Every structure is written in structure tokens, then in C-alpha cells.
């Protein structure tokens, strides 16, 4: 048994019910179930850990409609996974430590990343039908194993203020606009693998996107004069070393990784495990 120092040992998977874990209070902060559909408080318990709303008749489980309801992990495994994710363990390392398949852990970490993105200030735009919202079917995650072809990479603006970073989706700006500014308006571009970032743009410290093969990455030359982000330290120092190891990240999934960086940076001095579990237990947007 590997030593998993995640602070929640003893929650042996499978035998522990949700009520006996901290997840129960995260799902039901007042210790009382309510209907996820109509918020009714008159709830009847059925067999198989299901519950029914006395007002609207909706039948649900404790994890129905929540991020944590995606994936086949037990409460104990979710808690262990949050601990390993907090330490930035790879999916492979997590699957070994949890004795779960790579795909199971990959899907669970995807649900966790979605739950972090849902906390961000621009979640309303980010979860629109053109962006992350296209992966939601009702209150379920439906992420295709491969990214859809022909989808234009999203452009984000990075803004750091007083130790907080904001990474905003800029829905009106396409990747071709960024390259166009680079060619015509002397907005300097830099790259890290297929991640393209820029010098200051309007109120932002820089723009960032994950380019696909259709974009002229070769046109970005290394400049002796670093762009603003490379000089400012703070978030970009934190992010750069992490982005460097995102080798297999596609343009479709890049927003999830950016939002994870935003979350980690803004909570860098806090214990991440309870925060991650809280995000996981939140209801998914409709």
C-alpha cells in the first residue's frame, strides 16, 4: 500500500457511506436534504439511498446534479483524489495510488477541473453553449474522448491585481485576431510550445491561447526583448513552469487548465483539499 499522505487516511473505499464523511456536510450544509429541483424540504427516503421530494416528486441521490456525481469513485476515493490533486500528482500517479484505472481518474480530474472553472467570476460566459457549456447534458458531464474538430481555440486575457489573478474568456476575440494584431499592429507575441501569449493588450497584462495546427505558430520569432508577462513575476512565474509540462493539452481542454491555474494561484496560501471538495460538491449549472 503506497503512503498517501493526504490527511484523510482510514476512509477505506467502498465501506463508508456519504453520511460518515465530510462530503455529506459539503453537500447539505445544514445537515438537511432539500430537493435539487424545487428546493422543497419535505423529503422521503426510498430504498438504495434514493430520496424523493414530497412537493414535486423528483427522485434523487445525495450526489445527483453535482460535479462529484460524475465518475465512479466512492466518497473515500474522492477525498484521496482531492489530496493528490492538491499536490499536483499526475493522473498516472493518482491511478497507481488509488488503484483505479487511468480513465477513471482522468474523468474524475476532468470533473474536478470543471468544478473549479464553475467557481470563476466569468463562469457565466465560460459555461455558454459555445464554450464549456457544450460539455453539459442536463446536469451531467459529457466530454468526448477527443476534441471536436474545427473548433476555434478560445482567447483569454490575464490580469493580475494586488496578488489576485483574473483570467477572462474574451468571447469576441478569435485566435486569428491575435495573430493579426501581431502582424499588423505590432502586438508582440511569444510562445511556450503551442501556447501563444502576448504583450499588454488593453487592460490585460497579456492575452493567451492554445493554438492548433491551423495557426501560423512558425511566425512567432523569439525576441530579445521579453513581453510584459515575462517581466512581471507573480502569476506568470507560477503558471509558466506548469504550462511547460502541459504537452498533450488540446485547445478544447486548455480553458480548464487555465482556470485551474487561476484557482490554484488565488488560493496559493490556503489548504486546497477542503476547497476542492467544496467545489466538487457544488451543483452543476443547468
The interface region with Zn ion, picked from 45-53, 65-73, 115-123, 177-185 by CB under 5 A, is 45-53
**CA 132 – CA 102 distance, rounded (Å):** 23
Residue 230 near residue 219 (C-beta atoms within 8 A): no
The interface region with Zn ion, picked from 37-45, 66-74, 90-98, 275-283 by CB under 5 A, is 37-45
The interface region with Zn ion, picked from 28-36, 68-76, 226-234, 268-276 by CB under 5 A, is 28-36
The interface region with Zn ion, picked from 33-41, 71-79, 224-232, 245-253 by CB under 5 A, is 33-41
CA distances from 226 to 134, 200, 222, 269 (A): 36, 11, 9, 29
94 binds Zn ion (CB under 5 A): no
Backbone angles phi, psi at 86, to 5 degrees: -60, -35
Q: How far is the CB of 43 from Zn ion (least distance, A)?
A: 8
Q: How far is the CB of 31 from Zn ion (least distance, A)?
A: 19
**CA 221 – CA 49 distance, rounded (Å):** 59
- Cα torsion at 247, 132, 235, 243 (round to 10°)? 0
Query: Can you tell me which of 26, 53, 209, 229 binds Zn ion, judged by CB under 5 A?
Result: 53
Q: How many residues lie near Zn ion (CB under 5 A)? A: 8
Residue 197 near residue 190 (C-beta atoms within 8 A): yes
Q: How far is the CB of 227 from Zn ion (least distance, A)?
A: 53
Order of strands across the sheet that contains 189-192:
164-169, 156-161, 206-210, 195-198, 189-192
Query: Can you tell me which of 4, 8, 40, 173 binds Zn ion, judged by CB under 5 A?
Result: 40
58 binds Zn ion (CB under 5 A): yes
Backbone angles phi, psi at 283, to 5 degrees: -70, 145
C-alpha cell at 19: 453520511
Query: Residue 79: CB partners within 8 Å, gap ≥ 6?
Result: 6, 8, 11, 21, 22, 23, 273, 277
Residue 68 near residue 280 (C-beta atoms within 8 A): yes
User: Among residues 49 and 56, whose Cβ is nearest to Zn ion?
Assistant: 56
Query: Can you tell me which of 56, 72, 121, 142 binds Zn ion, judged by CB under 5 A?
Result: 56
Q: How far is the CB of 54 from Zn ion (least distance, A)?
A: 8
Query: Can you tell me which of 4, 8, 37, 61 binds Zn ion, judged by CB under 5 A?
Result: 37
Q: Which of residues 218-277 bind Zn ion (CB under 5 A)?
A: none
Q: How far is the CB of 139 from Zn ion (least distance, A)?
A: 14
The interface region with Zn ion, picked from 36-44, 119-127, 169-177, 242-250 by CB under 5 A, is 36-44
35 binds Zn ion (CB under 5 A): yes
In which element (H, E) is residue 43 found? strand 43-45
Q: Which of residues 155-184 bind Zn ion (CB under 5 A)?
A: none
Interface residues toward Zn ion, by CB under 5 A: 35, 37-38, 40, 53, 55-56, 58
Amino acid at each position: 500500500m503506497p503512503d498517501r499522505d493526504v490527511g484523510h487516511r482510514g476512509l477505506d473505499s467502498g465501506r463508508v457511506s456519504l453520511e460518515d464523511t465530510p462530503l455529506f456536510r459539503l453537500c447539505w450544509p445544514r445537515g438537511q436534504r432539500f430537493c435539487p429541483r424545487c428546493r422543497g424540504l419535505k423529503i422521503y427516503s426510498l430504498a438504495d439511498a434514493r430520496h424523493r421530494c414530497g412537493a414535486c416528486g423528483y427522485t434523487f441521490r445525495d450526489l445527483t446534479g453535482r460535479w462529484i456525481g460524475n465518475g465512479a469513485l466512492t466518497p473515500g476515493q474522492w477525498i484521496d483524489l482531492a489530496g493528490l490533486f492538491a499536490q499536483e500528482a499526475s493522473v498516472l500517479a493518482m491511478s497507481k495510488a488509488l488503484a483505479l484505472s487511468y480513465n477513471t481518474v482522468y474523468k474524475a480530474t476532468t470533473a474536478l477541473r470543471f468544478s473549479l472553472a464553475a467557481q470563476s467570476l466569468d463562469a457565466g460566459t465560460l459555461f455558454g453553449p459555445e464554450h464549456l457549456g457544450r460539455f453539459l447534458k442536463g446536469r451531467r458531464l459529457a466530454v468526448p474522448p477527443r476534441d471536436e474538430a474545427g473548433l476555434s481555440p478560445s482567447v483569454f486575457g490575464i490580469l493580475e491585481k494586488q496578488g489576485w489573478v483574473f483570467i477572462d474568456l474574451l468571447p469576441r476575440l478569435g485566435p486569428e485576431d491575435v495573430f493579426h494584431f501581431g502582424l499588423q499592429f505590432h502586438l508582440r507575441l511569444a510562445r511556450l510550445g503551442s501556447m501563444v501569449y502576448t504583450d499588454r493588450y488593453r487592460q490585460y497584462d497579456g492575452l493567451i491561447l492554445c493554438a492548433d495546427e491551423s495557426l501560423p505558430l512558425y511566425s512567432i520569432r523569439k525576441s530579445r526583448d521579453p513581453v510584459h508577462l515575462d517581466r512581471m513575476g507573480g502569476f506568470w512565474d507560477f503558471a509558466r513552469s506548469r504550462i511547460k509540462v502541459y504537452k498533450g493539452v488540446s485547445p478544447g481542454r486548455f480553458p480548464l487548465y487555465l482556470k485551474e491555474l487561476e484557482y490554484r494561484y488565488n488560493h496559493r496560501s490556503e489548504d486546497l483539499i477542503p476547497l476542492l471538495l467544496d467545489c466538487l460538491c457544488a451543483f452543476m449549472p443547468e
